[in-house]
DNA sequence: CGCGCTCTTGACTAGGGTCAAGTGCAGTGG
DNA sequence: CCACTGCACTTGACCCTAGTCAAGAGCGCG
């Protein structure tokens, strides 16, 4: 894993290339990418309360954003995957309201605020792409909210793993029924508002029903259609559809 | 309640006026406001699945956005108050992923997408103000997520009512210890991921401890400092702080 | 007057948290 | 090669928070 040069199969290019209609568009996309960094597993990229100076594009690896509670617990807000922006909305508030941590070794590139704004002004396509991405993250957060507020532990886990699978597929990872998932049970629990003990019980129940397994960091859907129907999963909010004109 | 002309004490002007530094800025702010409408209580402003053509500024009244679940339940994502944008991020996805409904009689004005984008391009201040607002809504959603994932029923209710109070104060409504709240117990429950029955029990418990009351549509904090400390409420994410330069 | 809505309360249930003990395994050092 | 340690994962027993079911009160409205 190195902070090497631009690659065509980069998840960011896959996602945003769909918006580009001209050479100028592609140049605008390439232009917002600043310095590339490698971020080691377990290192914090952004701290809660720290000034928000730059955002990032995540090229390789998994990250998560979370909040700590007064009582010591934590709530993971979102998992960030290759191709995702990190901390874009945060650029417009004075300080970050959450921590962001690398779950695996990661490659990111910086996105400078002034640079991003001027890029969006010059390229309507870039503005559209960035705003669509913000809307997508918003839709993901909304689903997460529904998950925590109104679904059982089993439903939450199923929905979350299905959504992760769809997002990974979008980033060019995994197959339609299986993917690698570096999240520990404790992390899944912190995401879904459960204890790791209960999460373990739910996983066993899913295994025994032969619906899905999570073993050695690999998620496998044994019965995807039942799972999708169970929680009403419709992944259309995750991918951009071009406007008809 | 009429869809009358622009007013100086409008919550939107209060919120966004802080960003303006010139006559041109004020003109840009005034310029994105389109047609004014009155929306009757219980009417839907935006439907889940409908094409997203325009956004709105909420001038008067309360609205909420929610999602319905396959099993008939619902999760309220957020309460929208005077001065808030409605459906701005939604402008950048093809269809809305939630319903938005008036909880009281409301006054809104339309915000046209093309108009908004050109305004943001011409006025850096407008761009900054709109993006800050998106970041603020994001921070509110993040707190909501923490609420649902990691707090007890009592903690959720306390945090939510404190936050509402702070947001209303920002909009020029209520006092430091009391405000009018048109939300039924069923709506509060749908917001906080609880049943209305349990919400009622929690309200009783808060009343008996003499911490807060909700009676006849009026919230009153009897012991604000205890409540704030209980849930670690810090309202700084709700108001914009000007950058030092 | 009766209908329908929100709110209230009680009795019972169940989903998920807490506490505690134990397994499996990757490192590490003797 | 084998202890020793630490961490993630498992499982069981028990408890408590919040959901379910049911009944009734208060009140605005046609």
State pLDDT tens for residues B1-32. Answer: 555 555 556 899 989 988 999 999 899 999 99
Is the separation of the CB atoms in B94 and A241 below 8 Å? yes
Asked if residue A154 keeps its beta carbon closer than 7 A to nucleic acid strand C, the reply is: yes
Q: State the pLDDT at residue A6.
A: 53
- Asked whether the predicted pLDDT for residue B39 surpasses 60, the reply is yes
The chain-wide mean pLDDT, for chain B, equals 93
Asked if residue A127 keeps its beta carbon closer than 7 A to nucleic acid strand C, the reply is: no
Nucleotides of C under 7 A from a protein CB: 6-11, 15-20
Asked if residue B184 keeps its beta carbon closer than 7 A to nucleic acid strand C, the reply is: yes
Of all nucleotides, the one whose C1′ comes closest to residue A186's CA is: D8
Q: State the pLDDT at residue A10.
A: 86
Q: Which of B121, B124, B148 sits opposite A193 (nearest CB)?
A: B148
Average pLDDT of the segment spanning A81-90: 97
Q: State the pLDDT at residue B143.
A: 98
Nucleotides of D under 7 A from a protein CB: 8-12, 17-22
Residue B72 pLDDT grade (very low, low, confident, very high; cuts 50, 70, 90):
confident
Q: Which residues pair with A109 in a beta bridge?
A: A36, A57
Cβ separation of B75 and A150 shorter than 8 Å? yes
Q: Which chain B residue has its CA at the smallest distance from A135's CA?
A: B89
Q: State the pLDDT at residue B139.
A: 98
DSSP for B9-24? T-HHHHHHHTT--SHH
Q: State the pLDDT at residue A1.
A: 56
- Asked whether the predicted pLDDT for residue B96 surpasses 60, the reply is yes
Question: pLDDT tens digits for B158-193?
Answer: 999 999 999 999 999 999 999 999 999 999 999 999
Question: pLDDT tens digits for A178-193?
Answer: 999 999 999 999 999 9
Cβ separation of B139 and A97 shorter than 8 Å? yes
Q: State the pLDDT at residue A71.
A: 87
Cβ separation of A93 and B237 shorter than 8 Å? yes
Residues of A with CB below 8 A from B121's CB? 121
Q: State the pLDDT at residue A46.
A: 96
Q: Which of A90, A146, A243 sits opposite B67 (nearest CB)?
A: A146
Q: State the pLDDT at residue B9.
A: 66
Report the interhelical angle of B124-150 vs A124-150 (nearest 10°). 20
Residue A99: count other Cβ atoms within 10 Å of its Cβ.
Answer: 20
Q: Which of A93, A145, A192 sits opposite B132 (nearest CB)?
A: A93
- Asked whether the predicted pLDDT for residue B151 surpasses 90, the reply is yes
Cβ separation of A77 and B145 shorter than 8 Å? yes
- Asked whether the predicted pLDDT for residue A5 surpasses 80, the reply is no
Residue A7 pLDDT grade (very low, low, confident, very high; cuts 50, 70, 90):
low
Count, in order, helices (H) and strands (E) of chain B: 8, 11
Cβ-based neighbours of B30, under 8 Å, separated by 6 or more = B6
Lowest mean pLDDT among A1-10, A77-86, B234-243: A1-10
Element (H, E) at B63: strand B63-68
- Asked whether the predicted pLDDT for residue A232 surpasses 60, the reply is yes
Is the separation of the CB atoms in A153 and A192 below 8 Å? yes
- Asked whether the predicted pLDDT for residue A177 surpasses 60, the reply is yes
Most A CBs within 10 A among B19, B119, B137, B146, hence the mutation to make, goes to B146
Q: State the pLDDT at residue B244.
A: 56
Average pLDDT of the segment spanning A47-54: 94
List the B44-46 sheet strands across, edge first: B44-46, B99-102, B63-68, B74-80
Q: State the pLDDT at residue B52.
A: 94
Q: State the pLDDT at residue A245.
A: 52
Q: Which residues pair with B66 in a beta bridge?
A: B76, B99
Which of A83, A28, A92, A25 minimizes the C-alpha distance to A54? A92
- Which pTM was predicted? 0.94
Q: Which chain B residue has its CA at the smallest distance from A239's CA?
A: B93
Question: pLDDT tens digits for A131-174?
Answer: 999 999 999 999 999 999 999 999 999 999 999 999 999 999 99
Is the separation of the CB atoms in A205 and A158 below 8 Å? no
Is the separation of the CB atoms in B105 and B1 below 8 Å? yes
């Amino acid at each position: 894993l190195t902070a090497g040069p631009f690659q065509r199969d980069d998840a960011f290019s896959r996602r945003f290339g769909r918006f580009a209609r001209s050479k100028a568009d592609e140049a605008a996309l390439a232009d917002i990418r600043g310095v590339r960094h490698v971020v080691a597993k377990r290192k914090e990229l952004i701290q809660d309360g720290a000034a928000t100076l730059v955002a990032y594009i995540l090229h390789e690896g998994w990250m998560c954003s979370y909040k700590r509670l007064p009582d010591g617990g934590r709530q993971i807000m979102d998992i960030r995957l290759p191709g995702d922006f990190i901390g874009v909305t945060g650029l417009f508030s004075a300080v970050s309201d959450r921590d962001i941590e690398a779950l695996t070794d990661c490659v990111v590139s910086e996105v400078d605020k002034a640079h991003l704004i001027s890029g969006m002004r010059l390229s309507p396509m870039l503005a559209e792409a960035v705003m669509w991405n913000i809307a997508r993250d918003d839709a993901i957060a909304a689903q997460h909210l529904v998950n925590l507020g109104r679904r059982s532990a089993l439903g939450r886990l199923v929905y979350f793993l299905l959504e992760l699978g769809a997002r990974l597929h979008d980033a060019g990872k995994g197959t339609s029924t299986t993917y690698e998932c570096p999240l520990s049970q404790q992390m899944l629990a912190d995401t879904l508002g459960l204890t790791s003990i209960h999460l373990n019980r739910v996983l066993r129940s899913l295994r025994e029903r032969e619906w899905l397994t999570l073993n050695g960091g690999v998620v496998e859907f044994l019965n995807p259609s039942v799972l999708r129907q169970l929680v009403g999963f419709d992944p259309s909010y995750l991918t951009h559809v071009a406007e008809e004109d």
